[in-house]
Structure 1
Amino acid sequence: MKFGREEHARITAAIREAEKTTSGEIFCVFAHRVSHHADVVLAWAAGLALTVPLLLIPFGFNPSWLPGFSAGWTAAHLAATEITVGLTLAAYAAVQLFVFALVCLIGCIPAVRRAMTPRTLRAGRCRRAAMNQFLAHGLHVTENRTGVLIFASEFDHHVEIIADEGIHGLVDAEVWMDAVAVMARHLKAGRAAEGYEAAVALCGQVLARHFPPAPRDRNELPDRLVEI
C-alpha cells in the first residue's frame, strides 16, 4: 500500500483542520512492517522438524520409506544392526531437514507468516514500534504534553493510538478505541487515507474538548504523515 502525493496532502489538510480547534498536536505514521517475524517462522520450523518425525513412528516409519535409503533388501544378521540404526537416524535427519526447509519456505508467504505469528506478539511489537515513533518525533515534549500519535502497521494489520500523559488521563479508553475501530475499517477496505482522515477528526474532537486553542498557540509538530 502506497500513499500518493494527493493522499499525503489530504491527511495534512485533515490534521491542520483538526488542530484549528485545539492546542494539542496530532501526528500520523504508517509502517509497512514493524518486523519480519523471522524468529517466529524459525521457531515453527524447528518445532515441526522435531515433532513430525516422531509422529511417524506409530506408523512404522523406516528408511525404506525414503528413496535412496534402501535397495529393497532386509539385513537380518546381527552384524547389520549398526548399519540399520545408522540408516534410520539418517532417514530421520532427512525428514527433519525437509520439514524445516518446507516450513521456512511456506513462511516466506506474507499472509502465512502473519498467521503464524501470534496476535499478541504482533500487537506488542507494533506497540513498541509506535512508542519509538512517538519518542523519535518528539510528541512527548509538547508544551502541555498533549501529543497524539496515530500509528498503523500494514503487514501486521494493527492500529495503535498513543496519547501523551497530558490528555491520556482525561479521556476514557473507549474514545481511542472508537478512533482505532474507524481507522481499521477503512484500512481493511483499502481506504487508508480516508482512515487517517476519520481518525484525525475524532482525535481532534477529543483534544478540542479538553485543550482548546491557546491565545498564542503555535504548531509544535509537522502536520504530515510519515511512512516507514
Structure 2
Amino acid sequence: MRISEEDARRVAQAIREAERKTAAEIVCVLARRSSDYAYVPALWAAFVALAAPWPLIAFSHLPVRLIFATQIAVFIISAALFSLPALRIALTPRRIMRARAHRAAVEQFFTRGVSGVDNRSGVLIFVSLAERYARIVPDIGVAEKIGQEEWRGALDLLLAETREGRIADGFVAAIEESARLLSRHIPPGGKDELPNRLYLM
C-alpha cells in the first residue's frame, strides 16, 4: 500500500471541503487487507499433504514410515510456500475475501465513530486493496434520504481510480461526488464531529 503524506493531506482537505457543503460527516478508511487469512496456507497444505502419499504408494515400494515422513515434509513446505502474501491471497476464494472485506467495513463504521454522528448522518468510504473491495456505508439518517443506487456514481469513481493505482484520486473523487449527493438532502450546519483524515489499517 503506497500512499504519501501529501496524498493523505489531499484526502483530508477534500473531506473538509465536502463537509462545508453538508452537515453530514465523511470518514475514509484504506486497508491493505481486511484479514490475514491465516488459516488458508494450512488448509491448502493439508490438501496437498493428503494427496502426496498416493503416488508414492501406487508407484514405489517405499516403507510406510518414509511415506509418512514425506507427507509431513510436504505439509511443512506447502504451508511455508502458501504463506507468501501474494499466494495466500490468490488461494483464498473470492467469496470469502468479499465477506471479510464487508465485515471489516462494518467494523470500521462503528470503530471510527460514524454511527455516533448527530442525526445519524455519517458516511464511511472504505477501500480494501488486497480484496479489491470498496464500499460506501451511509448511516440510517443518510440512507433514508439517499438510496443505495445513488451512491453508485461515487463508488464507480473510487473503483476506477484505485484500479489504476491512483488511490488518493479515487478517494477525492468519491468524496466530491458524495458531497454533491449529501448537500441536496443534508444542508450544511452543526459542528465538525469527527477528524478529517484518511485512516490506514
- Same fold by TM (over 0.5)? yes
Residues 160-171 of structure 1: pairs in structure 2 closer than 5 A = 160-171=135-146
Give 1:100's match in structure 2, choosing from 75, 92, 98.
75
2:178 paired with 1:220: no
What is the CA distance between 1:111 and its match in structure 2? 2.1
The residue identity in structure 2 corresponding to 1:221 is: L
State how far apart, in whole Å, the 1-side matches of 2:184 and 2:65 are: 70
Secondary structure of 1:144's aligned partner = helix
Partner of 1:74: none
Which segments of 5 or more consecutive residues in structure 1 lack a partner in the other structure? 65-86
Question: 163-172 or 187-196: which moved more?
Answer: 163-172
> Does the CA-based 8 Å contact 1:146-1:163 persist in structure 2?
yes
Query: Using a 3 Å threshold, how does the CA distance of structure 1 residues 45 and 211 change in structure 2: closer, same or farther?
Result: same
Partner of 1:21: 21
State how far apart, in whole Å, the 2-side matches of 1:41 and 1:169 are: 43
What is the CA distance between 1:6 and its match in structure 2? 1.2
Query: Using a 3 Å threshold, how does the CA distance of structure 1 residues 115 and 224 change in structure 2: closer, same or farther?
Result: same
Give 2:106's match in structure 1, choosing from 131, 138, 142.
131
State how far apart, in whole Å, the 2-side matches of 1:132 and 1:53 are: 43
Partner of 1:190: 165
- Cα-to-partner distance string for 1:25-45 (whole Å, 9 max, x where unaligned): 100111122221110121111
Aligned length in residues:
201
> Does the CA-based 8 Å contact 1:62-1:91 persist in structure 2?
no
State how far apart, in whole Å, the 2-side matches of 1:172 and 1:40 are: 37
Identity %: 37
Q: Where does structure 1 differ by over 3 angstroms across 4 or more consecutive aligned residues?
A: none
Partner of 1:3: 3
State how far apart, in whole Å, the 2-side matches of 1:45 and 1:225 are: 37
What is the CA distance between 1:162 and its match in structure 2? 1.2
The higher radius of gyration belongs to 1
What is the CA distance between 1:194 and its match in structure 2? 0.3
The residue identity in structure 2 corresponding to 1:12 is: A
- With structure 1 as the length reference, what TM-score do the two structures score? 0.80
State how far apart, in whole Å, the 1-side matches of 2:99 and 2:45 are: 22
- With structure 2 as the length reference, what TM-score do the two structures score? 0.90
Secondary structure of 2:118's aligned partner = coil
Which segments of 5 or more consecutive residues in structure 2 lack a partner in the other structure? none
State how far apart, in whole Å, the 2-side matches of 1:175 and 1:51 are: 50
Partner of 2:58: 60
The RMSD of aligned alpha carbons is: 1.9
